[in-house]
A and B are shown apart, each in its own frame.
Chain A
Amino acid sequence: MARIEAKAPAGLSAPRVIRPAVPWYQHQLARSVFYHAVVGVTCFFMLYPILWLVGSSFKPPDEIWTNQTAIIPKDFYPQNYPNGWAGFGGISFATFYRNSLFYATFGTILSVSASAVVAYGFARLRFRGRRIWFAIMLVTLMLPTQVQIIPQYIVFKQLGWLNTFYPLLLPRIGGSAFFIFMIIQFIRSIPVDLDEAAMIDGANKFGIFLRVILPQLTPAIITAAIFSFYWTWDEFLVPLIYLNSPELYLVSLALRTFSDPSGQTDWGAIFAMSALSLLPVFVIFISFQRYLVEGISTTGLKG
């Protein structure tokens, strides 16, 4: 917020002093330079961890701990990438990526679409028990997974679902409490006049959800999809418990399987694969975030 304040007076005071000599577009240019300078420098600090990680992933084994602070390696050693990619005993990262892409994609589609449906129910429909169910839903967020894991394991064991993706995917048919609550908040900031207009036109609740509410939820759904993909991609405790066969391991699991604090660890390979594992998350972010910028103005409906 402080930055916003600082920016406004700078922009306003400049033209007062030099207005006669300088046309307005140069003033715009100055603002632009200022903006890019401030944001750009901050960006370096934000990106530093990733630059360091990528830099370290090209260091040879005897440089990783002896030249730790450097971003740029003394000897360029791309061999870390094939070493890491080879995985374990012939099961390579190709397998782990395939599994993770499958899980993150389906998991995201399930979570986000179910969350939107459920959120509409909570936000716009009036039914008995709504508040109590909503409260229970929030409470489920407040208990650490760690103390639920053993009873849950026994439930899934009874269902015969160990060593499959079912325990990871099926609970998502109900959406995620986080996204449900988030989308509820977005729906509640959409004026009801549109719903009422559609109702007068003879639309039922499903029609209103699909034709009035859903189109306005694009930013919320895109945001949820970005998060969901990343959180699913990064998840490790639940996959660790349920996936036994290395052929089913995810990238997140494989990364944690590289090292042994008491044994020999190929840190170069860990850095290389950790850096590489950011790529899909980044690609998803870059390709989705533009819907939060340009594109169809979802609010145009009203204006």
Chain B
Amino acid sequence: MAAATLSKAKRRKQSNFGQDNLVGYLFIGPWLAAFLLFTFIPISVSLLLSFTDYNVLANAGEFIGLDNFQRMFFEDRRYWRSVNATLKYVVFSVPLRLLFALAVAMLLNTYRRGVGVYRAAFYAPSIIGGSIAVAVMWREIFGNDGLVNFTLNVLGIQGPNWLGRPETAIWTLIILAAWQFGSPMLIFLAGLKNIPKHLYESAEIDGANAWQRFLRITLPMLTPIIFFNLIMQLISGFMVFTQAFIVTQGRPLDTTLFYALYVYRRAFEQNEMGYASAMAWVMLMVIALLTALVFRSSSYWVHYEAGEGA
């Protein structure tokens, strides 16, 4: 999929492809070494295990061909519920998070008194982590008389029992994700800081208003960062685990049984690592495909100062 982004370089590539072979490998050497030493074997093994019925406690398994895939696609009702929950989460949480993150980053990208405090406040929900206290906290907030329903009440709306209803439970996790927009926000802030000030100065001289400056300068200059955030939010959206693990445990009626949570359960509660690996690899294929599509689209909308294939 990297091929897609870098493919614009084809013309230049002809002339100078491979000119930095030695230096290039020196620079990526640390990653390559760590990959070959520590990651390559576990990943390959997990691929092999996905064609077996490997059980963790037995520490043994037999080659069973495509049975795991047959089972997940045609026999496992919970599998499809987990697909359903994950897709719903990705479709809503990724755009929401990105939108919040960009909006707040724009709002906080000024030098004003107290802006550091505000940034910390907006980043705060993103650092509260996965401890057991956090589960209690989120449940309290979405509880019958918690913060969310209290606020709705002030606005004259009778809030539902968020975490108890199959229609609303997943929304608490989506809202939670939108709430925790701190990391994409910070990346946007860093990206905004990298936009050369002189571009704005000359635009102002040309009489562009704030909205025009945003459309003509900020947005295009930020596309590499938007692209990065989109890819990463997509990947982490599909792999979402902690929120469901600590807050809902997949309930009710499997409406929040995220894919990675189901993989974990099969792997460590039923010890069916072979089946879990097969599920994980199916998800990998889906994410890889989507990522490749986004990469392919990037040549139409991502703007690199350094030129396309630098």
- Whole-angstrom CA separation of A297 from B111 in the bound complex: 13
Query: How far, in whole Å, are A122 and B288 apart by their CA atoms in the complex?
Result: 19
Q: Given the complex of chains A and B, what is the CA–CA distance between A174 and B103 in angstroms?
A: 33
B19 within 8 A of A: yes
Q: Contact at A43–B118, with CB atoms within 8 Å? A: yes
In-complex Cβ contact of A252 among B1, B46, B131, B195 (8 A): B131
Which residue of the partner chain A has the closest CB to B19? A126
Across the interface, A297 reaches (CB within 8 A) one of B103, B197, B273, namely B197
Interface status of B106 (Cβ within 8 A of chain A): yes
- A2 to chain B: closest residue by CB: B103
Enumerate chain A residues within 8 angstroms of B260, measured Cβ to Cβ.
144, 146
- CB-CB under 8 A from B157, the residues of chain A are none
A289 to B185, CA, bound (A): 12
Q: A3-B103, A135-B1, A297-B197 are in contact. Are A126 and B17 (CB under 8 A)?
A: yes
- Whether B306 lies near A173 (C-beta < 8 A) is no
Q: Answer yes or no: B284 CB below 8 A from chain A CBs.
A: yes
Interface flags, B99-117, vs A, CB<8A=1, else 0: 1001100111001101111
B156 within 8 A of A: no
User: Which segment, of A14-22, A45-53, A85-93, A94-102, faces chain B?
Assistant: A45-53
Are the CB atoms of B189 and A292 closer together than 8 Å?
yes
A4 at the B interface (CB under 8 A): yes
A277 at the interface (CB under 8 A from B): yes
Bound Cα distance A286, B120 (Å): 7
CB <8 Å contact, A172 and B34: yes
The B interface is mostly helix, strand or loop, or mixed, namely helix
* B60 at interface, CB cutoff 8 A: no
For A294, what are the chain B residues with a Cβ–Cβ distance below 8 Å? Answer: 111
Residue of A nearest to B198 (CB): A303
Residues of B within 8 A of A121 (CB): 23-28
Contact A285 B123 (CB under 8 A): yes
B119 touches A289 (CB 8 A): yes
Task: Say yes or no: A191 contacts B118, CB within 8 Å.
Answer: no
Q: Which of A131, A180, A216, A270 contacts B132 (CB 8 A)?
A: A270
The yes or no answer to B73 lying at the interface (CB within 8 A) is: no
B179: chain A residues within 8 A (beta carbon) = 46
Cβ–Cβ < 8 Å partners of A150 in chain B: 56, 273
Given contacts A139-B284, A185-B225, contact A290 B116 (CB under 8 A): yes
Which chain A residues numbered 1 to 51 have a C-beta less than 8 Å away from chain B?
Answer: 1-5, 8, 12, 32, 35-36, 39-40, 42-43, 45-50
Q: Is A107 an interface residue (CB 8 A)?
A: no
Is A126 in contact with B214, judged by CB distance below 8 angstroms? no
For residue B63, CB closer than 8 A to chain A, the reply is: no
The residues of B that contact A205 with a CB separation of less than 8 Å are 20, 23, 27
21 CB < 8 A contacts A-B:
A4-B211, A43-B121, A48-B147, A52-B147, A56-B137, A69-B145, A122-B27, A138-B2, A138-B288, A139-B288, A140-B39, A141-B235, A142-B283, A146-B260, A148-B45, A151-B46, A155-B38, A190-B194, A191-B306, A267-B133, A270-B133
5 tightest A-B contacts by CB? A174-B34, A121-B27, A127-B24, A219-B190, A274-B133
